[in-house]
Amino acid sequence: MCHQTVSLVARHLEAAGIPTVILGAAKDIVETAGVPRFAFSDVPLGNSAGRPFDVDSQRTALECALRLLEVAPGPRTTWQTPIRWRDDGDHGWKADFNNPASMNAEELAEARRNFEAQKAARIR
């Protein structure tokens, strides 16, 4: 689900007295929406709750969210989780993730086809 939609739903729930914590990877969007509590992970979109098939990172994300719910000092609190995309301690996913400079012509063409297919599916 999109970060903006989740943020707006959280604000609505909070207005009804239901506490929320957003797990997200799009810091600018969530902070602009002004959610009360935000656990930010510097990972590719779609992985805010931990790396795929990595139970430890998923557990860490959940523990951070629950802890933030307990101790947030006030509205619009953002915590950065300790989740790292790569185990070498580097945040280099941004350089690796769909980086055209690291792709050969065939990979680049496939990425373009996938992107165009996604756009076409949204228009329907």
DSSP 102: G
Q: CA 52, CA 22: separation in Å to the nearest integer?
A: 18
Q: Against a cut of 0.85, is the pTM above it?
A: no
Kindly report the number of other CB atoms within 10 A of residue 87's CB atom. 8
Tens of pLDDT along the chain (124 residues) come to 789 999 999 999 999 999 999 999 999 999 999 999 999 999 888 899 998 899 999 999 999 999 999 999 888 999 999 998 876 655 567 776 667 888 889 988 998 898 888 888 877 6
Taking the alpha carbons at both ends of the chain, their separation in whole angstroms is: 19
Among 87, 90, 70, 81, smallest CA distance to 23 is for 81
